[in-house]
Amino acid sequence: MCLDLSDGSAKVLIGYNVGGEPVVAFSDEHNIDGAIKGGGVSDPERLIEIVSSFHEVSDPSTKFSVSVSSGICLLLPPIGLKVYALDQTTNVVSETSEISKTDITNLMSMASKFSLPDPHTAIVDIIPDEFILESGERYANPPLGKVSRRLGMKAKIFVMPESVLNAYKRVLNQAGMRPLRIGLTPYCQAELFKTYPNLPTSYLLVDIGAKLTSVSLIGDGSCYASTSFMLGGDDLTGEIAEAFQIEFSYAENLKKDYGYDTRENKLNPPLLPGQSELTQNELNQIIEAHFERLDSMLHNAISTIIMSYGGKLNELPIIFTGGGSSLYGISSLFAKTFRERALFFPEIRSIGARERGFSPSLGMILTASRYMGSLEDNLRGVTSLTRPRVEKEGTKTVRSSRPDIDNL
């Protein structure tokens, strides 16, 4: 069971991994009434009430019913996200030098205890990129049963403000829930999009949510950096409601039903009965004005992400996701301002959760099924890699993570 808490809603998805594809058994979405603002918990009592309601999940139309008694996988927005790279080495404990689960646990435990540069941050997740034997052989997954006196690990450490992380943990605890795994949305989205063969592996990921838009740098399918700003789909809905003095729910329906449509229509009829001024042309004007603000803030966020790379990432493609990216016609607006980049608006293909807003939860299904246990016991299967050997004898180094630009 995955729980995605964001400014707009709480999304629940129950599913499993079949052959590397997420299969959905149940999905639902609940309004959270402003209990989260800017990615932070603003009304914990309301959020606790909502999360508590997920102990019993049912859908009478499909006769689906499940009681959640153990725990859930929690998804968090990348607020203040920082990613660090870690090189860690340990001696193999077995007298026969055969690598066991204990050696992997030792590496993960050591990684979870290193000193963070900012004492007000906390580790959310540790993702091993590869394991290295003394011979230089490299494995994408724990090389259990292989023989080596020493075992190295390259990993990424995902970190966010401790106050933000603890606020979500307190909500889950007081709602009687236990987090089996905590993941960040851009990492899980990147895991999902790895399974889409027509998408690039290195790109900028733009997630347009209800009130928060995040921009993440994905290199070779892995998240390296992220930033965000306060503007999203609900802001556009509010602007439509205010301009035409209609209820928010009516404005939301107008936005979803008509979107940004520039096709010629000589009649230009009203979109709502009794609202003669509310035509497609007027709706387009409101969307264009909103887009100008969104586009300006988006370009600034992208510049912030790539400025440390000397402009070498200026041609990276962009993948758009999140509910706000589903607005009809928005792709034509972005195409005008990102002429130098390839743009992708992938359709989510999992039956039962087709909306782009469910992409983090679908990615978490894959992630949770692949990595079991805690930060100290985060295991995968075994697959050999063939990459040049880079040795670090008995040392540990931590640095801000950057992708290899030449390989992006």
pLDDT higher at 288 or 112: 288
pLDDT at residue 56, as a whole number: 85
Q: Tokens in use for 33?
A: 């009434």
Q: How many CB atoms lie within 10 A of CB 273?
A: 7
Place of tokens 């390296």: 224
End-to-end CA distance of the chain: give it in Å, rounded. Answer: 34
Model pLDDT for residues 231-273, shown as the tens digit of each residue: 999 999 999 999 988 999 999 999 999 999 988 765 677 777 6
Residue 72 to residues 166, 167, 408: CA-CA distances in angstroms? 16, 16, 34
pLDDT at residue 6, as a whole number: 87
pLDDT (mean) for 78-83: 92
Rounded to a whole number of angstroms, the CA Rg of the chain reads: 23
Which of 193-197, 206-210, 326-330, 374-378 has the weakest average pLDDT? 374-378
pLDDT reading at 387 higher than 60: no
pLDDT (mean) for 48-73: 83
pTM of the model: 0.86
Neighbouring residues of 165: CB distance < 8 A, sequence distance ≥ 6: 76, 122, 124, 182
Please name which of 165, 167, 311, 307 lies closest in space to residue 227, comparing C-alpha atoms.
307
pLDDT at residue 114, as a whole number: 78
CB 131 within 8 Å of CB 152: yes
Structure confidence at residue 140 as a pLDDT band (50, 70, 90)? confident
Place of tokens 């009478």: 60
Structure confidence at residue 406 as a pLDDT band (50, 70, 90)? low
Amino acid at 261: D
Three state DSSP letters for 47-79: HHHHHHHHHEEEECCCCEEEECCCCEEEEECCC
pLDDT (mean) for 329-340: 95
Model pLDDT for residues 170-218, shown as the tens digit of each residue: 999 999 888 888 999 999 999 999 999 999 999 999 999 999 999 999 9
Strand-strand pairing, 2-5 and 72-76: parallel
CB 191 within 8 Å of CB 257: no
pLDDT reading at 129 higher than 70: yes
Helix residue spans in 185-260 (DSSP H): 185-193, 233-244, 248-258
Q: How many CB atoms lie within 10 A of CB 292?
A: 12
Place of tokens 């404990």: 93
